[in-house]
Amino acid sequence: MAAVPNETPDADSRALLVASGLAKHFGPVVALRSADLRVRPGEIHALMGANGAGKSTLVKILTGALTADAGTITLGGRTRTFRSTSEARKAGLICVYQDPSLLPDLTVLQNLKLTATPISNFRRYLVELGMAGFDLQSMPRELARPTLSLLDLARALAIEPQVLLLDEITASLPADLTVRVFNVARQLRAEGRSVIFISHRLAEVSALCDRATVLRDGKTVGVVEPAQGGEERIVKLMLGPVADEVAAEAASPGAPATGAVAVEVRDLKAGTLDGVTFTLRFGEVLGVAALEGQGQEELFNCLAGVRRPESGQIVVGGSPRSFHHPADAIRAGMVLIPADRVQALLRQRSVRENVALPLVNRISRWGPINPRREKRRVETAVKRLQIDTRVTSEVRRLSGGNQQKVGIARWLAGGFKTLLCFDPTRGIDIGTKRQIYGLVKELAANGSAVLLFTSELPEIQLACNRVIVLFGGKLVDEMPASEADEQALLRAAHGLHSEAEAEAQSQEGA
């Protein structure tokens, strides 16, 4: 579907929130150059864009966390300048972010009092979110991340906002909790209030949103109606001229690998993981498909030395290994690239310092660090991953996609040959996802061994040669990537037999 033409001044008069010509610079870096957004009352409006397109900056300006260098914001027909989040909150504009915001060492009730949240409203929205009877004396540090996200949402809803911004809140939620969030958003729409929804999952945008504004390079490049085939138009607007090039990076699934065995897992047990056995070869990307909580996290943590298995063996290079610490796994040449970028990176440090970290030991093993060699290897890794920044930039100032690229570049520069990628594209836009999957395939083609888990089953075919499926902690299926379409993976991930197996069993029983 084509982008909706530029809206007329009459359309502005119908809008509840209008952002026009917003610009923001951070020194020489241009975060926004001409961003427009028009949100109608009673509308769920998606804000789309690749990582670094300006979404986060726009959200922070709308909610008073940042002040624009140019442009105007109109809310309910009045021009506004929010100099703090509390000013925006009082005006009825509030954002719920992907990362939980409750202070971990105060009770939930103390957190609510700290922000003057109406307790009765908060309890009412807890009921709507399926959390009736929740104990307000609970400590956030003891709660699961999905629970914290719903508490943040209920706290925002309790002030009865005119415009609610949801910034990747569904990224860490299971499907059943995502449905609850959607139901609340639709209820707000029915009441004439507005929701701005940010998600990298196009299926969510299509299912929930009425319209989508797309940003690219700090500019608004189009407004699209996502339903009825608008997804491809959104992708093209997000990627711009590089769309075809990026799509090519996620070409056909790789052929089965025939390289030497890099890692052999024998009858491994840990927590939910229950007696899993498989091999990972050099020159292949082995995909792990599983629904939430099927033992995949325990598997990766055991291989990375984060936790010890209860029984079973991990064999590396033909020798059984015992990993008591991540450093043991790293010494064996195995490194973990986690979904949580905050966990993996020194966010206050520069790109160069983060990427060079594993080199300190390797380069200086027989003497002082060679600055030229370190610089060359860091710059090569940064260039190879197309990290869109200077190596002197602080990691915390980068987009989520570029932060994840820094995490991969760190181990790439270190020359490690076995990569454990646990949901590395979570919360990353589709263009950067395809770049990362393209890089993963390239690494395998150059002889690396990659174990890859992604929480989005349709993406398995983008990078993998082979796929194993976990269900109930057991390895229930294995298939070449060419056969790992979404239907086959969903059946196996739910513990169902393939259609061929089901038919064979039916004939045997006849």
Residue 22 lies in a domain: yes
Residue 100 and residue 205 in one domain: yes
Q: How many domains does the chain have?
A: 3
Residue 281 and residue 218 in one domain: no
Distance CA 510, CA 500 (A): 15
Residue 195 lies in a domain: yes
Residue 314 and residue 341 in one domain: no
Residue 223 and residue 342 in one domain: no
Residue 165 and residue 313 in one domain: no
Residue 391 lies in a domain: yes
pLDDT at 249: 44
pLDDT at 30: 86
pLDDT at 479: 93
Residue 346 and residue 328 in one domain: no
Residue 213 and residue 81 in one domain: yes
Residue 324 and residue 343 in one domain: no
Q: 192, 207, 241: which is the final residue of a domain? A: 241
Residue 356 and residue 494 in one domain: no
Residue 105 and residue 200 in one domain: yes
Count Cβ neighbours within 10 Å for each residue of 430-469 and write b for 16 or more, e otherwise.
bbbbbbbbbbbbebbeeebbbbbbbbebebbbbbbbbbbb
Residue 194 lies in a domain: yes
pLDDT at 506: 47
pLDDT at 60: 94
Q: 394, 416, 438: which is the final residue of a domain? A: 416
Residue 461 lies in a domain: yes
Give the residue among 392, 352, 395 at the shortest CA–CA distance from 375.
Answer: 352
Residue 318 and residue 351 in one domain: no
DSSP state of 131: -
Distance CA 22, CA 74 (A): 12
**319-321: strand order across its sheet:** 273-281, 261-270, 311-316, 319-321
Distance CA 269, CA 277 (A): 10
Residue 311 and residue 454 in one domain: yes
pLDDT at 365: 46
Residue 432 lies in a domain: no
Q: Domain range for residue 20?
A: 9-241
Give the residue among 229, 215, 232 at the shortest CA–CA distance from 23.
Answer: 215
Rg (CA), the chain: 24
Please give the chain's pLDDT, 510 residues, in tens. 334 444 544 555 689 999 999 999 988 778 999 899 999 999 999 999 876 789 989 999 999 999 999 999 999 999 999 999 999 999 999 999 988 899 999 999 999 999 999 999 999 999 999 999 999 999 999 999 899 999 999 999 999 999 999 998 987 788 899 999 999 999 999 999 999 999 877 888 999 999 999 998 899 999 999 876 777 788 788 877 654 444 444 445 455 566 899 999 999 999 989 999 999 999 999 999 987 778 999 999 999 999 999 999 999 989 999 999 988 998 898 988 887 666 666 666 777 676 666 655 554 444 455 566 666 666 766 666 666 656 667 767 777 677 777 777 777 666 778 999 998 887 777 777 877 888 888 889 889 999 999 987 777 887 899 999 998 899 999 999 888 887 788 788 877 755 445 444 445 554
Distance of CA 450 to the CA centre of its chain: 19
Give the residue among 10, 79, 18 at the shortest CA–CA distance from 43.
Answer: 18
Domain containing 293 — which CATH number?
Answer: 3.40.50.300
Residue 26 lies in a domain: yes
pLDDT at 356: 65
Distance from first CA to last CA of the chain, Å, rounded?
A: 50
Residue 424 lies in a domain: no
